[in-house]
Structure 1
Amino acid sequence: MTTPPPTTERRWEIDRALDDLADGETAWAACDRATRRALLLRVHAATAGHAEAWVRAAVAYKRLPDGSPLVGEEWITGPYPVLTSCGALAASLQALEENRSPVDGFTFGEAPGGRVAVRVLPHSVWDQLLLNGFSAEVWMPPGVTRQQVRDGAGLAQLRPAETNGVGVVLGAGNITSIPILDVLYELYANNRVVALKLNPVTDGLLDVFGEVLAPLVDLGAVRILTGGADVGAYLVRHPKVSHVHMTGSAATHDAIVFGPGAEGRARKAAGTPLLGKPVTSELGGVSPTIVLPGDWSEADLRYQAEHVATQKLHNGGYNCVAGQVLVVSSDWAQKDRFLAHVRAALADAPARPAYYPGSDDRVADALASYGGDAERVGGGRVLIRNVDPADPGPALTTEYFGPVLAVVELPGDARTFLDAAVRTANDRLTGTLGANLIAHPRTISTLGSALDEAIAGLRYGTIALNAWTGVGYLTATAGWGAFPGHTLDDVQSGIGVVHNALLLDGPERTVVRGPFRPAPRALLHGQPVMSPRPPWFVSNGTAATTGRLLADFAAAPRWTALPRIFASALRG
């Protein structure tokens, strides 16, 4: 069914916005790097000044209970990453102003397959203190040299006066920092002025976003629009728009690129897009969590079960990178005990409303598809057992975008299981956005280089070992997006990359590593890790306080703020 056009009044509004942006492109082209850096710092200050209102608006549309620790999610995935990204982008521009590369001062290493790795976390002393035990690398494609990385870092800011027209950003409705970060990436990485169309779910953030982006709106480089599919369709097909970037599902992507319904499917099959302009995207998929067998303590089993529950239930499960398939070894002696802990962690996680449209229907579909193997746990959550890895059923091929977790069992010891799990993740699961691995330190040591080769073999844009891939999202200097190589007619988890505040040219993936155990228990096992249970864990009782303090710190990093952050984090 074709989407009806917007009203005449709405068309005039869109036309005026695009006319403004055509003038704004000239103003943006006239801004040198120092001016653009000053604009970033003003956006940073506006974000800090309106962070409280931002979080209140997010809590309202997600209907989170007053005083719930879950409010911490809105601090950590709303204002916080925008603050850190503004700072990191500003540092990259300053480096270019001073005839340096944005990667100067970052450590380079080697990754399997002849890849150059740029260590982006930890970088500052603040990283070492606040994220002790966590690290992240950006891997470049095989064959790219260190000198090529240095020379290419900066992207469009290497030639700031060469602008690239008007871009449309179709904003996400789940994580509230996504629309702002996508706008900044379009402006700074691609030199395009931006029409941001909000997802209707987030219309309550219109005023806050207007304040946060006011420096860029006043320049004429950004306009913010609201509306439904009619506005979006008119906007992306407008002749004054040169590029579209979207966050959402592959189905929505295909409707935009090829058109809806049977006609759209026919165009997709024929490879003839309806939308004759470039489209980049960050889409979802079926994200795996691969748990390697080992000899774990009861505390390890319980903690990592909370980790798995977090990967699934953070933001209610409405994350493009939410864990959906838990892959375990059928030969692991502790498998049943671990799965019992996972079930308990799902059931015990704080209750929250199903705020995202269609969630209840998707949960019902999961229950209907898997019958007696699907169980309701903790209200609206679903745990599916005995999923056949060879069966192309919905658990492996359809992103549920909700609180549904499926379990796949594969045979073997750590090495043979890992090989089979990598093949399953690559060949059976839809999407390539993120994959998680969990392994005991002794298992990591035993596997040695085989584990690094397995990480290299996983075709995912972000891979996390003993961490959640969401840490990659929160790392401003890391790239975020699908594994490279998708096409419009087989888009999987999308095309292109965002965030990437070092402005690296063509990163392949981000690899995140974290501690297997939190402090202080890690210290008792001889591991020098100071990070307690992370504030993004759904089981963290002080997440709201810690999240607020972290956002406040990102607004103004200072030594005096650290004691309160540490105290709140330890209580969590």
Structure 2
Amino acid sequence: MITKIIETQNRMQVSEAIPPSSQAEMDRALNVLTAHKDAWAMMDIPGRIALLDQIKQDMPGVEGRWIASGLEAKENQPDSFDEFVEWYSISVIYRYIRILRKALQDILQFGKPEIPGKVSVRPNGQVVAQVVPYDWKEAMALPGIRAEVWMDPSVSLQNGGIPQASFYHTQDKEGQVCVVLGAGNVGGLIPGDFMHKLFVEGQVVALKMNPVNEYLGPLLEEGFNAVIKAGFLQGLYEGAHEGAYLRDHPAVDSVHMTGSDRTFEAILFGPGEEGRQRKQARQPQFTKPFSAELGNISPVIVVPGPWSEKDIQNQSKRLGSWLVPNSSHNCLTPRLLIQMQDWEHRQKLNNGIADFLEGIKTDKAYYPGSFELHQQFLDEHPEALQLGKPQEGHLPWTFIQDVDPTNEDDIVFKCEPFMSLYSETALEASDVVEFIGKAVEFANGKVWGSLVASIVVHPKSMKDPAVAEAV
């Protein structure tokens, strides 16, 4: 069941239950999408840009209610850091719109999107494209931040260069229907997923909201009314039963989800022992195209270097603060520090992180299963530090230090702690270069997931050619 956002005299409230989508409603939505999928596939670029412009005009009308509903659902206060986190989702939506619009203009003018930064080739022949900052606005908003895409080794700058905008160069386009199973944690991810399917892959979308944040559904429907009214997007609600009906429907060509690996594998292989056997045999029961973003135990490799006391203090706050946004219910939240065992500042850094977290306000652990998962980690690591002053419904900031790296079956290496928990392990190495190699091998080979990883290195360390090459 979902909820509407209603406005009282002083604040928004998440209330007024709405029933889940019935089978008839789901059929009706899929019929609408099927009737319009070819029109969307064949729509010209100016028509797509006009829809993006209309979305940009409509979204400001839902901003205030979006922020208020998120704060209400998570029991957070206005004018707080938590409100900033909610605004982040709104800003991400506008960034999607801005980048998609520019990409479409580039396709119209040049045949493909313009890569915003330098394109280079690594010594091994791998093509690298700088994609952040995207423009001068991002350069000002994100000073010192740069992001690159390292291409698949098969990509070459010869024979047409980097492949881009393949949908827009396809002849005889055929419409397709995609079911998007929306993320339950960060609202901004939801339009990111369905806008990618719409504007990059050219598919119409049946969006099934996650029960955790389905209160955003009516707001998304209002903000994206332009594509809904045109028959290219439909919003649907409730849980696993509705999701199963949609993904198995003969009108549906593909599925995308943002969620847990357990949900993904249950869909792909089926539940229980039979599903486990299918997974082992690599024989999926679900055979439609199925893309997913499934989270990660995000490692942070801390490279030893000439850190001052101020450096340790600053990096302790920085590393600790990465755990804080959205009650740590983020797929890219750093979860595991990897340090060099004999580094002289290792324990100082751990102590600094613990001291920082001890003084940070805890938040509601709103994601289902958080308390049970937290207890699983405590059962295996009763020595874990539990920090902060959690209220009812909150979890403490939890820090597990000195995890044995030789115990590959330890829960901290195998299970994503999708709540407010950090772990730390340390590797033996004779020098910094050897440590970097071992840490990378450990993160890639022993730690679950492949979504994101971070490396923290002192600028002076990068002046050592051996360290710079290893990084």
- TM-score under structure 1 normalisation? 0.75
Match of 1:176, SS state, is coil
Cα distance in structure 1, aligned partners of 2:29 and 2:275: 28
- Other-structure match for 1:308: 319
Matched, 1:346 2:357: yes
Cα distance in structure 1, aligned partners of 2:116 and 2:340: 42
Match of 2:187, SS state, is coil
Conserved? CA contact 2:156–2:162, under 8 Å: no
Aligned runs of 1:105-184 on 2, under 5 Å? 106-111=117-122, 113-147=124-158, 150=161, 152-159=163-170, 162-184=173-195
Which amino acid in the other structure matches residue 398 of structure 1? Answer: C
Matched, 1:381 2:397: yes
Matched, 1:367 2:378: yes
- Residue 99 (structure 1) shift: 3.2
After superposition, the Cα gap between the structure-2 partners of 1:302 and 1:164, relative to the gap in structure 1 and judged at 3 Å, is farther
Which amino acid in the other structure matches residue 211 of structure 1? Answer: E
Cα distance in structure 1, aligned partners of 2:204 and 2:469: 40
Larger deviation: 427-436 or 156-165? 156-165
* Residue in structure 1 matching 2:446, options 428, 441, 450: 428
* Residue in structure 2 matching 1:190, options 179, 185, 201: 201
Cα distance in structure 1, aligned partners of 2:470 and 2:126: 12
- Other-structure match for 2:457: 439
Matched, 1:34 2:46: yes
Match of 1:194, SS state, is strand
Which amino acid in the other structure matches residue 79 of structure 1? Answer: I
- Other-structure match for 1:63: 75
- Other-structure match for 2:334: 323
Conserved? CA contact 1:33–1:157, under 8 Å: no
- Other-structure match for 2:6: none
Larger deviation: 49-58 or 390-399? 49-58
- Other-structure match for 1:51: 63
Q: Deviations over 1:21-45 (max 9, x none)?
A: 0012133134101101111122222
Match of 1:430, SS state, is coil
Cα distance in structure 2, aligned partners of 1:110 and 1:58: 44
- Residue 160 (structure 1) shift: 8.0
After superposition, the Cα gap between the structure-2 partners of 1:312 and 1:56, relative to the gap in structure 1 and judged at 3 Å, is same
Matched, 1:227 2:238: yes
Which amino acid in the other structure matches residue 299 of structure 1? Answer: K
Cα distance in structure 1, aligned partners of 2:76 and 2:193: 25
Moved over 6 A (4+): none
Cα distance in structure 2, aligned partners of 1:115 and 1:51: 42
- Residue 440 (structure 1) shift: 0.6
- Residue 98 (structure 1) shift: 1.4
Larger deviation: 419-428 or 38-47? 38-47
In structure 1, stretches of 5+ residues that fail to align are: 1-6, 455-572
After superposition, the Cα gap between the structure-2 partners of 1:217 and 1:307, relative to the gap in structure 1 and judged at 3 Å, is same
Q: Deviations over 1:241-265 (max 9, x none)?
A: 1101011111110111112222222
- Other-structure match for 1:248: 259
Which amino acid in the other structure matches residue 376 of structure 1? Answer: Q
- Residue 420 (structure 1) shift: 1.2
Q: Deviations over 1:102-159 (max 9, x none)?
A: 1256421233531111111224222222211111111112242235675621131233
In structure 2, stretches of 5+ residues that fail to align are: 1-18, 391-395
Match of 2:97, SS state, is helix
Aligned runs of 1:350-499 on 2, under 5 Å? 350-372=361-383, 374-378=384-388, 379=390, 380-391=396-407, 392-412=409-429, 413-447=431-465, 450-451=467-468, 453-454=470-471
Q: Deviations over 1:507-531 (max 9, x none)?
A: xxxxxxxxxxxxxxxxxxxxxxxxx
Which amino acid in the other structure matches residue 332 of structure 1? Answer: W
Cα distance in structure 1, aligned partners of 2:450 and 2:469: 18
- Other-structure match for 1:511: none
Matched, 1:22 2:34: yes
After superposition, the Cα gap between the structure-2 partners of 1:249 and 1:98, relative to the gap in structure 1 and judged at 3 Å, is same
After superposition, the Cα gap between the structure-2 partners of 1:156 and 1:9, relative to the gap in structure 1 and judged at 3 Å, is closer
* Residue in structure 1 matching 2:348, options 330, 337, 344: 337
- Residue 17 (structure 1) shift: 0.7
The percentage of counterpart residues that share the same residue type is 31
Match of 1:59, SS state, is helix
Cα distance in structure 1, aligned partners of 2:296 and 2:133: 28
- Residue 230 (structure 1) shift: 0.6
Query: What is the root-mean-square deviation of aligned Cα atoms in Å?
Result: 2.0
- Other-structure match for 1:93: 104
Matched, 1:74 2:74: no
Conserved? CA contact 2:42–2:173, under 8 Å: no
After superposition, the Cα gap between the structure-2 partners of 1:105 and 1:300, relative to the gap in structure 1 and judged at 3 Å, is closer
Q: Deviations over 1:169-227 (max 9, x none)?
A: 00001111111110011112211100000000111111110012111101101001001
Conserved? CA contact 2:117–2:132, under 8 Å: no
After superposition, the Cα gap between the structure-2 partners of 1:452 and 1:28, relative to the gap in structure 1 and judged at 3 Å, is farther
Q: Deviations over 1:246-303 (max 9, x none)?
A: 1111111011111222222222223222212110000112110111111212221122
- How many pairs does the alignment contain? 445
After superposition, the Cα gap between the structure-2 partners of 1:160 and 1:282, relative to the gap in structure 1 and judged at 3 Å, is farther
Cα distance in structure 2, aligned partners of 1:333 and 1:289: 18
* Residue in structure 2 matching 1:279, options 267, 290, 302: 290
Cα distance in structure 1, aligned partners of 2:42 and 2:454: 44
Aligned runs of 1:195-210 on 2, under 5 Å? 195-210=206-221
Which amino acid in the other structure matches residue 32 of structure 1? Answer: D
Conserved? CA contact 1:163–1:191, under 8 Å: no
After superposition, the Cα gap between the structure-2 partners of 1:105 and 1:302, relative to the gap in structure 1 and judged at 3 Å, is closer
Cα distance in structure 2, aligned partners of 1:424 and 1:441: 24
Q: Deviations over 1:449-481 (max 9, x none)?
A: x54554xxxxxxxxxxxxxxxxxxxxxxxxxxx
Cα distance in structure 2, aligned partners of 1:148 and 1:61: 52
Cα distance in structure 2, aligned partners of 1:248 and 1:128: 31
Cα distance in structure 2, aligned partners of 1:112 and 1:398: 36
Cα distance in structure 2, aligned partners of 1:393 and 1:107: 42
- Other-structure match for 1:217: 228
